[in-house]
Amino acid sequence: MADDNIVPKDQDDDIIDHSELDPAEVPWRARYEFLKSHGYLLRPRYRPGWKPSWPPSERNPEYRYEDALLPLHSKRLDAHRVSDGQPVFLKLASGSSPEIEIARILASPTLKGDPRNHCVPFLDILEDPVIPNGVILVLPLLYRIDRPAPATIQEFVPLIDQTLETLVFLHDNEIAHRDCAFDNVMMDARALYPEGWHPQAYLRTLDFKKILAPRAIREVEHVSYYLVDFGLSTYKQSLTLGLAGQEPAPELSEKVPYDPYKLDVYILGMAYKRFFESIYRDSDFECLQPLTDFMTPIDPAARPTARAAYSYFKDLISKLPDEELTKRLVSHEGETTSERIWNDIEHAIWTRWLSRWTRKRTTEPLT
């Protein structure tokens, strides 16, 4: 997942010349005309003949000028789809990557139309004109799931529901994700950020002129969550090998085969757990701890299937009282007395009155 800083952390403002393309950016300039011919337009920085928009005397243009932004990852870049102006995400991959096979399987009419399928849709797969046997995956632009974070358990329910349902869908079709960790769960945030956001500076508008303030999740009709990054996925493999992945699951091994489906259940359970712990007080999520405990035994044989975990979750949520589902979650960093009073009043007003008549924002499905 990309860092939110405008400039990557390992780059030093004192030595970077933003008026010249970094060596890692040059191949993107070489792809500019090819991508344009296929309906995708890169930012001005990558157009042949680009000239910086800032004066030579500007010391730190990356804080004021959009075309001074460097990419957060050399193999990922943003573009706009010419046909409708929608921002898209470009990802370089090897033609032999498992992601290509999985993309084509998920794009089949039967699986693409399955309502349980909350996998990121692949909009296009292009042959890379620069790297032999390389491809460019065209994906919708998504956002990290913790900005804004859910304010109640009720707002958390769709996140868990959609991701667990997707795991059931994948496993029913003999696909194991193998890296469904926190950073590989993302959301369609268009309703939350109606002005859009800059793909290389998540807290800025597309034109880079304003700092973003998202709408609260309660103000939108629906938030769609997606599993992304199928680079480690397997198809029709009951056992697999490998140490790669964001979550250091106990069974990972290069020598001893393990069940990739039970691995998925563990990784997703840990994703929920890490999300909870990174933002909120432990006491706020005691009601959901049985679910994460159920999904994350050290022994893979003791873990449930994705379907059993999903059923367990549905049963658990159905038994929670409304006051538990709608109580306000508090950051583990705490809040002052005045902040607590204000936040409690605001939450109570919304929960009891405004939510009944406020028209919520909606968005069209990703295509």
What pLDDT does residue 237 have?
A: 97
SS3 198: strand
Question: Which pLDDT belongs to residue 339?
Answer: 65
The phi, psi pair for 175, rounded to 5°, reads -110, 130
The residue out of 140, 158, 176 marking a domain boundary is 140
Residue 65 near residue 52, CB atoms below 8 Å: yes
The three-class DSSP label of residue 78 is strand
Last residue of a domain, one of 140, 162, 177: 140
Q: Which one of 95, 122, 140 terminates a domain?
A: 140
d(CA 291, CA 51): 54
Q: Which residues of 310-343 are buried (b: 16+ CB within 10 A; e: fewer)?
A: bebbeeebeeeeeeeebbbbbeeeeeeeeeeeee
Position 193 in a domain: yes
* Cα–Cα distance measured from residue 128 to residue 78, given in angstroms and rounded to the nearest whole number: 15
pTM of the model as a whole: 0.88
- Residues 116 and 167 placed together within one structural domain of the fold: no
Give every residue of the chain whose pLDDT is below 50, as ranges: 1-13, 354-359
**Is 79 a member of any domain?**
yes
- Verify that 258 and 192 share a domain, yes or no: yes
- Look up residue 180 and give its two tokens: 């469904």
**59-97 tens-digit pLDDT:** 889 989 999 999 999 999 999 999 999 999 999 999 999
Q: What is the pLDDT of residue 7?
A: 35
Same domain, 303 and 217: yes
pLDDT for 11 equals: 43
- Note whether 211 and 123 are same-domain residues: no
Return phi, psi of residue 204, to 5°.
Answer: -115, 155
| Count of structural domains, the chain | 2
pLDDT score for 15: 61
Model pLDDT, residue 357: 45
Q: Give which of 267, 214, 274 is closest to 242, Cα–Cα.
A: 267
**Residue 234 CB neighbours (<10 A):** 21
Q: Are 18 and 52 in contact (CB under 8 A)?
A: yes
DSSP secondary structure code for residue 211 in this structure: B
Where residue 173 sits, what CATH number does that domain have? Answer: 1.10.510.10
Same domain, 130 and 199: no
Domain span holding position 204: 146-357
Asked if residue 317 is part of any domain, the answer here is: yes
What integer pLDDT is reported at residue 340 of this predicted model? 64
